[in-house]
Amino acid sequence: MTELINGKIQHRKLSLGRKIFRTISITLGAILMATGLEIFLVPNHVVDGGVTGISIMLSHLTGVELGIFLFLLNLPFVYMGYKQMGKTFAISTIYGIIVLSVFTSLFHPVPAFTDDILLATIFGGMILGIGVGIVIRSGGALDGTEILALVVTKKVPFSVGQIIMFINVFILGAAGFVFSWDRAMYSLLAYVIAAKAIDVVVAGLEESKSVWIISDAAEEIGDAINARLGRGVTYLKGEGAFTGDDKKVIFSIITRLEESKLTTVVEEIDPSAFLAIADISEVRGGRFKKRDIH
């Protein structure tokens, strides 16, 4: 956390409770990822993307435990993370990687939960993604690919997501040579499932959305949103660029499950109203908690 003091940004230390919660969350996330790898994916020769995928293939080719490669190959990226995102991120990441490496070694002798390749791919990818998502929400990372993408994106005209996908195309393609091409396709499926699970955990099951509405019936729409959705609204003053007319703009926060209902409310009152809805990664403070509707 930071605050501005005498014109300078000062970092405030996290409370002991927050530090304990972060540590527990990273531990849980790393254990879940180790479970997805060693209990589901690795025994069935299915790989993940990034450094984890490279580590799985190297472990298969050399016979060295997966945890050792996960730790060694991620170290350079932890240093990158320290340079780019600071000490707290680096500490959280190195701790998560250590826990991941230890538990992959502990789980290695455990037999696979299922020999069904499709079930292993689906559940392994899901569990792995949930674990990674928990660690990301806690301020760390378990794979150096994301850190590398953040560094490279500053020097090339591509987004972080595009760079990660580009890297993983080669890694997942290499799985076809190391294992077999059907395993490479299952690996791609596991990667997609894991990526979706990460999105759900990071964004939340009830992903928040911001709503902007411009209408001549602004107050009527605002009252309806408050009464029928239980959401508060804020009125902002606007001015039409072409007409110069004063406009009242409605701003509110809803969940994705309420999007359809809100659209119906607006169309019922003013079918010609301007409506814009956008995703929000996080909402804090204010009175976002939903009011009970009677």
Single out the residue in 147, 174, 203 at which a domain terminates. Answer: 203
Q: What is the per-residue pLDDT for 116?
A: 92
Q: What is the per-residue pLDDT for 81?
A: 79
| DSSP conformation letters of 53-111 | HHHHHHHHHH---HHHHHHHHHHHHHHHHHHHH-HHHHHHHHHHHHHHHHHHHHHTTSP
Q: Are 89 and 33 contained in the same domain? A: yes
Q: Are 129 and 269 contained in the same domain? A: no
> Does the residue 289 lie in any domain?
no
Single out the residue in 174, 203, 232 at which a domain terminates. Answer: 203
Give 265's contacts (C-beta < 8 A, 6+ positions apart): 221, 224, 225, 228, 229
Q: What is the CATH number of the domain that holds 218?
A: 3.30.70.120
Q: What is the per-residue pLDDT for 150?
A: 66
What CA–CA distance (Å, rounded) separates 203 from 182? 32
> Does the residue 239 lie in any domain?
yes
> Does the residue 287 lie in any domain?
no
> Does the residue 288 lie in any domain?
no
Q: Are 129 and 275 contained in the same domain? A: no
Q: Are 255 and 209 in contact (CB under 8 A)?
A: yes
Q: Are 29 and 150 contained in the same domain? A: yes
Q: Are 117 and 155 contained in the same domain? A: yes
Q: Are 230 and 88 contained in the same domain? A: no
> Does the residue 192 lie in any domain?
yes
Q: Are 43 and 135 contained in the same domain? A: yes
In a structure prediction context, what are the per-residue pLDDT tens digits for the chain, which is 294 residues long? 444 344 443 444 567 788 898 899 999 999 999 999 999 999 999 988 889 889 999 998 998 989 999 999 999 888 887 877 778 888 888 999 999 999 999 998 888 888 899 999 999 999 999 998 898 888 888 888 877 776 776 677 776 556 777 888 888 888 888 888 898 899 999 988 988 888 788 766 556 789 999 998 999 999 999 888 888 899 998 877 677 678 889 999 987 768 888 998 999 999 999 999 988 766 666 655 555 554
Q: What is the per-residue pLDDT for 2?
A: 42
DSSP H or E segment with residue 208: strand 208-214
Number of domains present in the structure of the chain: 2
Q: Are 199 and 224 contained in the same domain? A: no
How far apart, in Å, are the Cα atoms of 13 and each of 2, 98, 266, 272?
9, 23, 45, 50
> Does the residue 224 lie in any domain?
yes
Single out the residue in 203, 235, 262 at which a domain terminates. Answer: 203
Q: Are 86 and 182 contained in the same domain? A: yes
How many beta carbons lie within 10 A of that of residue 138, not counting itself?
A: 19
Q: Are 74 and 196 contained in the same domain? A: yes
Q: What is the per-residue pLDDT for 288?
A: 55
Q: Are 198 and 212 contained in the same domain? A: no
Q: What is the per-residue pLDDT for 166?
A: 80
Q: Are 224 and 179 contained in the same domain? A: no
Q: What is the per-residue pLDDT for 8?
A: 41
> Does the residue 285 lie in any domain?
no
Question: Which residue in 138, 131, 119, 116 sits closest to 36, CA to CA?
Answer: 131
- The domain in which residue 147 lies consists of 2-203
Helices H, strands E: what count in the chain?
Answer: 10, 6
Q: Are 167 and 145 in contact (CB under 8 A)?
A: yes
